[in-house]
């Protein structure tokens, strides 16, 4: 059976990854936590000559990274990331993974210990579709996260507001906030006033 993420990749051409890619400058040092099969890192290596490292817990995906020539460390994000020293990367990416780690708050702390900036993208459970489903009595099942509540890696669903609150609490600066539609496009004008209601995904750039 395919994981949530793999299904996503089939359903969508991950425009959020394209946006993340555009934010990375030439020759940057980039660490991708939960890098999957290494597509983003490979793209960054080729197009930006970035010095890349991935972290992935799934052995099969790790093999795909190595096949792509992307250096990758076999580890779960729930284990400590002490293998990575302070301030050794320019960007630490956490793409559609935060909802699956045991302690998102600790992972955010680790990201900003290891890197200067963090880039976090995740599904917004405050989206109107999710709210309607919840109002009708069921946990939300979305196109991006199509698995039912009992069989999903999403153990920490969160909204855009939740993420902002967490950053405030942990004294993390939000440098940019890029809400996206379910197709990965920028929000239409009317919706920009309330991304928590209309954005399906959001990308945050954060720093200490």
Contacts with other proteins, residue ranges (CB under 8 A)? 51, 53, 59, 62-63, 65-67, 69, 71-75, 82-85, 88
Smallest distance, other proteins to C-beta of residue 142, A: 31
Q: Which residue's CB is nearer to other proteins, number 51 or number 147?
A: 51
Smallest distance, other proteins to C-beta of residue 66, A: 4
Q: Which residue's CB is nearer to other proteins, number 51 or number 131?
A: 51
Indicate the helix (H) or strand (E) that contains 29. strand 29-33
Q: Which residue's CB is nearer to other proteins, number 65 or number 158?
A: 65
Smallest distance, other proteins to C-beta of residue 187, A: 38
Q: Which residue's CB is nearer to other proteins, number 80 or number 165?
A: 80
Using CA atoms, how far apart are residues 137 and 195, in angstroms rounded to an integer?
A: 23
Cβ proximity of 19 and 203 under 8 Å? yes
Q: How far is CA 94 from CA 119, 151, 200, in A?
A: 6, 22, 17
97, two tokens: 């993974």
Smallest distance, other proteins to C-beta of residue 89, A: 10
Q: How far is CA 24 from CA 36, 68, 72, 91, 164, in A?
A: 19, 20, 19, 8, 23
């Amino acid at each position: 059976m395919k994981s949530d993420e793999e299904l996503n990749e089939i359903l969508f051409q991950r425009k959020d990854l394209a946006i993340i890619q555009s934010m990375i400058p030439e020759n940057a040092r980039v660490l991708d936590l939960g890098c999957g099969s290494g597509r983003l890192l490979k793209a960054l290596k080729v197009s930006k000559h970035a010095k890349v490292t991935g972290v992935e817990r799934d052995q099969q995906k790790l093999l795909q990274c190595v096949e792509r020539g992307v250096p990758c460390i076999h580890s779960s994000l729930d284990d400590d990331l002490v293998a990575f020293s302070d301030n050794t990367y320019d960007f630490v990416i956490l793409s559609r993974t935060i909802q699956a780690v045991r302690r998102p708050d600790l992972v955010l702390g680790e990201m900003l210990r290891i890197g200067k900036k963090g880039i976090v993208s995740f599904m917004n459970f405050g989206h109107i579709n999710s709210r309607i489903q919840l109002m009708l009595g069921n946990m939300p099942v979305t196109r991006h996260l199509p698995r039912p509540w009992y069989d999903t890696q999403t153990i920490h669903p969160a909204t855009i507001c939740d993420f902002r609150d967490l950053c405030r609490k942990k004294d993390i600066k939000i440098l940019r906030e890029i809400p996206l539609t379910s197709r990965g496009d920028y929000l239409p004008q009317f919706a920009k006033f309330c991304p928590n209601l209309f954005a399906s995904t959001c990308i945050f750039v954060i720093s200490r």
